């Protein structure tokens, strides 16, 4: 992790995503592998409608829409609010709630049946990993599943993870599976499964990590 404090990093992170959305540089929104992460969580949800789902770092709401159309309620949280949320809120009314906040700062008494983190965790400051994971774990019901999708070096390069500095000083963390597995299991989760999808430009993989809170 580059030598930058957490306060300064939060500003960089917010400015980077604001700029990306404002200039239509949010390539992840159209990454063809990312809808598979929401499909994975749907497979793990019990066959029961109207479950309470948390979409962490929800972006333009692609996955939120998937869960709403599957008959669930969604709380979507993101540090940046894009224009799509007005239309989504009009369409889905009380089944959808959008929270404009950093996940680490969010305080709620709501409890969730499942959660998705599709590309948010791997951009956090390393010193905030514990707060972030404790916050997520703390709002999940016992036995709830979460699917985290993180960058991972491609299969040929599995020895160690690395950081990449992106625009505005935003960081992308590329985790090898053992690293991320150890992080999640030391913050209240049980490891269940993983899946790997190559990014469209072949630069690395998206690693989907399925974890569960203790029953
Ligand atoms: C790579 S994008 C993925 C967006 C969406 N999940 C998708 O798959 O299209 C990461 C998102 O996380 C949001 N984000 C990053 N760090 C965050 C944090 N600490 N709290 C809340 N949102 C955050 C960004 O604004 C951005 O929309």
pLDDT at 159: 67
Average pLDDT over residues 55-65: 98
What distance in angstroms lies between residue 122's CA and the mean position of ligand 1's atoms? 10
What single string gives the DSSP state of each residue in 16-78?
Answer: HHHHHHHTT--GGGG-TTTHHHHHHHHHHS-S-SS-EEEEET-TTSHHHHHHHHTT-EEEEEE
- Structure-block tokens of residue 192: 């269940």
Model confidence, pTM: 0.96
pLDDT tens for 64-96 read: 999 999 999 999 999 999 999 999 999 999 999
φ/ψ region of 24 (left if φ > 0, alpha if ψ in -120 to 50, else beta) reads: left
* Cα–Cα nearest to 27, from 136, 145, 129, 172: 172
Output the residue whose Cα is nearest ligand 1's atom 10. Answer: 120
Output the residue whose Cα is nearest ligand 1's atom 20. Answer: 102
Is pLDDT at 203 greater than 80 in this prediction? Answer: no
Q: Is 103 in the pocket of ligand 1 (CB under 6 A)?
A: yes
pLDDT tens for 157-184 read: 566 788 999 999 999 999 999 999 999 9
* Cα–Cα nearest to 114, from 150, 73, 77, 80: 73
Average pLDDT over residues 2-25: 96
Is pLDDT at 201 greater than 80 in this prediction? Answer: no
């Amino acid at each position: 992790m580059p030598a930058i404090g957490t306060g300064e990093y939060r500003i960089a992170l917010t400015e980077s995503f604001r700029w990306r959305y404002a200039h239509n540089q949010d390539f992840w929104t159209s990454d063809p592998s990312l809808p598979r992460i929401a499909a994975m969580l749907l497979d793990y949800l019990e066959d029961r409608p109207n479950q309470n789902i948390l979409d962490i770092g929800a972006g333009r709401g692609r996955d939120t829409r998937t869960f709403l159309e599957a008959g669930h309620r969604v709380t979507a949280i993101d540090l940046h609010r894009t224009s799509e949320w007005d239309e989504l809120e009009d369409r889905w009314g009380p089944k959808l709630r959008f929270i404009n906040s950093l996940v680490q700062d969010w305080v709620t008494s709501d409890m969730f049946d499942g959660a998705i983190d599709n590309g948010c965790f791997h951009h956090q400051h390393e010193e905030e990993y514990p707060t972030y994971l404790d916050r997520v774990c703390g709002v999940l019901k016992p036995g709830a599943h979460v699917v985290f999708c993180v960058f991972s070096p491609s299969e040929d390069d599995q020895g160690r993870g690395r950081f990449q500095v992106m625009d505005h000083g935003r960081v992308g963390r590329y985790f090898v599976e053992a690293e991320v597995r150890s992080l999640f299991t030391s913050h209240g989760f049980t490891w269940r499964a993983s899946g790997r999808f190559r990014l469209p430009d072949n630069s690395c993989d998206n690693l989907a990590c399925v974890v569960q809170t203790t029953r």
